[in-house]
Amino acid sequence: MAQNLAEIDAITAVGAPATFDNTIVALEGSGQALARVRAIYAVWTSNLLTDELEAVQTEMDPKLAAFQDSITQNAKLFARIEAVYQASTAKGSTLTPEQQRLSWLYWNNFVRAGAKLDAAKKARVGEINQRLASLFAKFGQNLQADEDTALFFSLEDLVGLPQSFKDGAAAAAEERGHKGEYAVTNTRSSMDPFLSSAERRDLREKVWRTYYSRGDNGDAHDNNALIGEILQLRAERATLLGFETHAHWRLGDKMAKTPDNAMALMMQVWPSAIARVENEVKDMQAIADAEAKAKKQPKFTIEGWDYRYYAEKVRLAKFDLDQNDVKPFLELNKVREAMFWQAGQVYGLGFAMVPDAPVFHPDVTVYDVTNASGAHVAYWWFDPYARKGKNSGAWEMAYRQQDKLGGGHAVLVSNNSNFVKGKPGEPVLLSWDDANTMFHEFGHALHEMSSNVTYPSLAGTATATDFVEFPSQVNENWVSTPEILNTFLTNAKGEPMPKALVDKIKKSATFNTGFDVTEYLAAALVDMKLHLAGAPKDGKAIDPDAFERDTLTALKMPSSIVMRHRTPQFRHVFGGDDYSAGYYSYLWSEVIAHDAFDAFVEAGSAYDKATARRFVDTIMSVGNTVDPADAFRNFRGRDPQIDGYLRAKGFPQAKGKAKAPK
């Protein structure tokens, strides 16, 4: 940090008038040592969190926030940035469009961070940012503590679960000192398959309640008080910065522009989603009632812990499709090979393992990535397995983004997942949703690897959150293409997925979309409404549990479904600012992603070379050098339409002219 600040001082000490080169380019080249250290720090805090590291995080995160404020609140530095920005917009400017975009980005980021505030307001914003950094760290630590727990069962408790799950559960239990038992860890990758297949309803309820109570148990790891304070501080900061609410501040430079636009899109989809849930539950209830009658047992109403289990029964009854029949064809390494092949066909990238590369855990592998010309463009780290101290879920992380400064820098990027590792030598079998998630997160990595810009601040995924999910959403579409199904998704005997099974998967493509969309959209709506609420008039902090409950009741949320991320465990929103008032981004991006993939459909092939080349040239390679809305128009030739999304979900098509992101 001291080295970086010395570089900033050198920039402000330049006697000559501010220019793009002596100010903006100099800023782009500063802080490289700190960036390397922060990349390693991020690897540890997200993958290898220990008690010792938690102490470091508690101390350092507020200091890092204060450090960032010392730059954005540097009056001399901002004066130079503003001079360059104003010159870039003047008639006769010789800057390239990319340089103009970067000048605007610096100016906009500094203004939005409070560069134009008076000294007292700057000081208060700084205090808020430091306190928020502490709260974000504590929120993540509390959640991690709950996610590191597990429930232990006997073999008899696991009736209905496939052998692959039992093997992974046995290994997880032994790792935790419970040899001979079976562990269901408190993560989605373990909870989801258990709730989908376990026959014992009481144990499904136990796993369900444990999972959805993370951060909400009234103990030392409860997150509710932290959330109340975070919301208060965010509301105060937004007011200081001149915005109506935190949501208005966050969306000001996104594709949506305003909370109203984001809410309009969400509420356009919400009625269709909950209507579909009603139909899904009717189908499940009919099966549950028939089973109760046949077994002469009392009837019960479908609850949250029943939804996945009876959804699979409906899938089997309606489509003769059992997800356990699909899993043998979705072996982890085969899915990875399929991703590599698709990346070669669509993006012109090749992957070769680097056996002696340094890694942060023995489970991690590293690959050298080359482009169509054979030139090195990236290294890709793959970290697929769950372990103690690792964040739950799946994500992409860029350790370094591409640029062309000082001879250029290649991309360093990872994909991280939480699949349950089986016995040594045993294959790890995925669900269809898991395979789609792998392609999704790999889509983020491909966005980084395809970047071809000059300046690192504009590279790869450094775009608005409601655009950055677009390339990753698009990438999911290739999982079900015949080329991948017939060549890569094979069983242990090397046999491809039978055509009859493929046909069943395609026929059931819109099955259970009510659940999928509703659990996601409920979380996005609560996120937005929390941040539109502002500071309570009585000065008391918002009660997250009560707000969540009251909001969902007003929305007529089906009682059989829970938000995908309940408020006390909503890491996207309360583990940092990036996705706060921004969880809607996944819907916004998915709408434009379906529309974009329709271009491949219209061309006659998901692997159409001309369409792929245009997609790379207009979307994947340009980073943030182009306004996201313009980038989409450059690819599609028009604004996005919502019809492709509604069709993919099996929802009613829009009446009249479709409303969609602009």
Tokens read off for 41: 């720090």
309-345 tens-digit pLDDT? 999 999 999 999 998 899 999 999 999 999 999 999 9
The stretch 524-533 carries a mean pLDDT of: 98
Q: Is the pLDDT of residue 661 over 80?
A: no
Band of pLDDT at residue 654, cut at 50, 70 and 90:
low
- 337-340 long-range contacts (CB < 8 A, ≥24 apart) are 337/488, 338/479, 338/484, 338/487, 338/488, 338/489, 339/438, 339/439, 339/442
C-alpha distances out from residue 536 to 149, 260, 504, Å: 35, 21, 51
Rounded to 5 degrees, φ, ψ at 437 are -65, -40
* Of residues 243 and 661, more confidently modeled: 243
Instruction: Name the pairing type of β-strands 411-419 and 376-385.
Output: parallel
| 359 torsion bin: left (phi>0), alpha (psi -120 to 50), beta (else) | beta
Instruction: Point out the residues that are catalytic.
Output: 441
DSSP 139-170: HHHHHHHHHT-EEEE-GGGGTT--HHHHHHHH
Rounded Cα–Cα distance for residues 554 and 219 (Å): 29
100-143 tens-digit pLDDT? 999 999 999 999 999 999 999 999 999 999 999 999 999 999 99
Q: Is the pLDDT of residue 20 over 80?
A: yes
pLDDT > 90: percent of the chain: 95
pTM above 0.85, yes or no: yes
pLDDT for res 536: 77
pLDDT > 70: percent of the chain: 99
Residues 6+ apart with CB under 8 A from 415: 380, 381, 382, 383, 394, 395, 396, 438, 441, 442, 444, 445
Band of pLDDT at residue 660, cut at 50, 70 and 90:
low
pLDDT for res 287: 98
pLDDT for res 38: 97
Rounded Cα–Cα distance for residues 248 and 531 (Å): 9
The stretch 412-416 carries a mean pLDDT of: 98
pLDDT for res 656: 39
What are the start and end residues of each CATH 1.10.1370.40 domain in the chain? 2-144+221-242
Of the candidate CATH numbers 1.10.760.10, 3.40.50.410, 1.10.1370.40, 1.10.10.60, the domain formed by 2-144+221-242 belongs to: 1.10.1370.40
DSSP element (H, E) containing 280? helix 259-295
Q: Is the pLDDT of residue 657 over 50?
A: no
Rounded Cα–Cα distance for residues 28 and 34 (Å): 13
